Amino acid sequence: MTPFGVYLRGILMGAADIVPGVSGGTMAFITGIYDRLLGSIRAFDVTCLRLLSRGQVRAAWLHVDGAFLLLLLLGIATSILSLARLVSWLLNAYPVPLWAFFFGLILASALVLLRQVPRWTPALWACLVAGALTAGFIALSPVVAMTPGLPGFFIAGFIAICAMILPGISGSFILILLGMYGPVLTALKNLELEVILVFGLGAGLGLMCFSRLLHWLLQRFHAATMALLTGFLFGSLLVVWPWKHALDWVLGRDGELRPAQQVPVWPWEFAADPMLQVCLPLAVGGFALVWFIDRLWGSD
């Protein structure tokens, strides 16, 4: 795998993590670097600390696959910093077409993960259904009103990063449920360094803790874990369904009312929306994009 290939995969992961409902972990999985990524994260262990304490910086760098991680992080940062402003503007200006594009992305991602379980049994189908029902329940639940102070950003980073590395669960989706997606996106867009640093510290700590649990689950219960994650992804389609009616509202940090709880409705209830005609092509485009990425790199 070339350095540019790793950097490009980082760009795809960063773009996916910006999208509510799409997982950077899914992009890592379908582009063939997921196992290497988990192994690199887990390598920040006692051995790494021992090497650093002895001044063996190069050995520690090789132990954690530092070149791979650095290129991947550069790609992720490039994507997040360049897309945050665009996605924020699109969510305000053209929300329904953008959600339609996201819907296509997630549906294709779910079907890609569905193929990762070679033989389905009743127990695995039960895991799939349980994951879908859990994600659906969370999607229809009211938004948790977290206070967007520095402790809130730290907690949000700790929780969201666990989803960001999972194939099938979106960190942005978790941020929406915590009521922190808007504040985090605004901080990235405005380069609020203090907020970004605190959020990053929470994410780093969460990553160190959760990657070990995830590796253990995938090693011992791979098929069941993948079935559960795929169910989560199918259930999260409710989050990005473009056509919704709000049941409750909350006052946002900008003084404007934001929907706190929404339910999906049929597209024809938005028949007067002039953007309705572009939603299906955008959904198909999102689906085709993930399918193309999977065909290009899925067997790497």
- What would the pLDDT profile of 177-228 be if each residue is shown by its tens digit? 677 777 887 887 788 888 889 998 998 888 888 888 887 888 888 889 888 8
pLDDT tens digits, 6-63: 898 888 888 777 766 567 777 787 777 887 888 888 888 889 989 999 999 999 999 9
Name the pLDDT band for 127 (thresholds 50, 70, 90): very high
What percent of the chain shows pLDDT beyond 70? Answer: 84
Residue 69 confidence (pLDDT): 92
> How remote is the C-alpha of 82 from its chain's centroid?
17
Residue 286 has pLDDT above 60, yes or no: yes
pLDDT value for 238 = 79
Pairwise pLDDT comparison (96 vs 271), residue with the higher score: 96
Q: Is the pLDDT of residue 263 over 80?
A: no
Task: Provide the percentage of residues in the chain whose pLDDT is more than 90.
Answer: 13
pLDDT of residue 137 exceeding 50, the answer is: yes
pLDDT of residue 126: 95
pLDDT of 299 over the 70 cut: no
- Could you tell me the CA-to-CA distances from 299 to 3, 8, 29, 179, 285 in Å, in that order? 18, 16, 10, 37, 22
Predicted confidence band of residue 257 (pLDDT cuts 50, 70, 90): very low
pLDDT at 57: 92
**pLDDT-derived band of residue 246, with 50, 70 and 90 as boundaries?**
low
The residue-averaged pLDDT of 84-96 equals: 76
Q: Which two tokens stand for residue 11?
A: 């760009």
Q: Which domain holds residue 257?
A: 3-297
Between strands 244-251 and 257-264, the pairing is antiparallel
| Highest mean pLDDT of the ranges 94-98, 222-226, 234-238 | 222-226
Which amino acid, residue 239? V
pTM assigned to the model: 0.69
| Listed range (37-41, 150-154, 181-185, 278-282) with the worst mean pLDDT | 181-185
The neighbour count for residue 55, using CB atoms within 10 Å, is 9
Q: State the total domains in the chain.
A: 1
Across the chain, mean pLDDT equals 80
